[in-house]
Amino acid sequence: MHNPPPSPPPRRVPTSAITAFIQRDAINELLRPWLPADDERALVVRCLVDTGPAHHCGANYVLLRLLGLVLERVGGPPASGAADDSSVAIPLRLPPPFADARQEVHFPLTLPTRAVAQLAPRNSRHFAAMVDCLTDGPPQHALANAAILRLIESVLMQLGLNLQETP
């Protein structure tokens, strides 16, 4: 006779502990180079660390802070980092009848694609699929992807990678 498998240990971390470590101001400052307008930045910070399941908020915070530390170590955001003609707009998550092409129904933070283009040619299906994966999903996912890619691009640029060229 087999013993039943042991049940998993109960979760010990209360939700309040997850949200307690989030320092919104730190994320706010991290995004300032790409979102200089206070109101726009506040909207993105709210989506990143105030909406959706608590573990997403916590994970977004940890990953962004760590990437921020990496970027700081390599010299901070490059002066030319914000200029990016190839970024992709991320639409607000509205009911389909209300979604349209107006700029104001898109989040102020766009998805940069220069790093993604290092993985697949811009006109390829792979590239299109990658961008689709990165911009899809709830705001806390898509905007975290965009913020993370902003930081990754900046790090790559500071490390000397020419993002204007594709491999």
Partner 1 sequence: MSELPRGLEQAFLVAASELGFCSAAWLFVQELAAAGGAPLVEQLRDELGRSFPVLDAVAAQWLDGLSWSAIDVAPIVAACAGAKTLLVVGLEARYLDALLPALPTLQIRLLRYSSMGDVDWERILANYDARVRATDLGSFQQWAGTRTVVLTFLYGANDHAAHASPAWLRLMGEDVRAQFRSFVGWNILSRPMYVYPRWLVEVPRSDFTVLV
Output the smallest distance, CB 51 to partner 1, in A: 5
Output the smallest distance, CB 132 to partner 1, in A: 20
Stretch that binds partner 1, among 36-44, 56-64, 66-74, 127-135 (CB under 8 A): 36-44
Task: Name the phi and psi angles at 82, rounded to 5.
Answer: -75, -25
Measure Cα distances from 57 to 63, 83, 94 in Å.
10, 28, 21
**If binding is defined by CB under 8 A, does position 147 make contact with partner 1?**
no
Nearer to partner 1, 10 or 95 (CB): 95
**If binding is defined by CB under 8 A, does position 101 make contact with partner 1?**
no
Please report, in angstroms and rounded to a whole number, the separation of the first and last CA atoms in the chain.
Answer: 60
Q: Which residues pair with 111 in a beta bridge?
A: 88
**Sign of the CA dihedral with 52 first, then 48, 139, and 157 last:** negative
Neighbours of 108 (CB within 10 A): 20
**If binding is defined by CB under 8 A, does position 43 make contact with partner 1?**
yes
Nearer to partner 1, 115 or 139 (CB): 139
Task: Name the phi and psi angles at 159, rounded to 5.
Answer: -85, 0
Stretch that binds partner 1, among 4-12, 72-80, 98-106, 155-163 (CB under 8 A): 98-106
Contact partners, residue 103, CB within 8 Å, separation at least 6: 89
**If binding is defined by CB under 8 A, does position 106 make contact with partner 1?**
yes
**If binding is defined by CB under 8 A, does position 78 make contact with partner 1?**
no
**If binding is defined by CB under 8 A, does position 37 make contact with partner 1?**
yes
Spatial distance between the Cα atoms of 16 and 84, rounded to a whole number of angstroms: 38
Binding site for partner 1 (CB under 8 A): 37, 39-40, 42-43, 46-47, 50-52, 92-95, 97-98, 102-108, 138-139
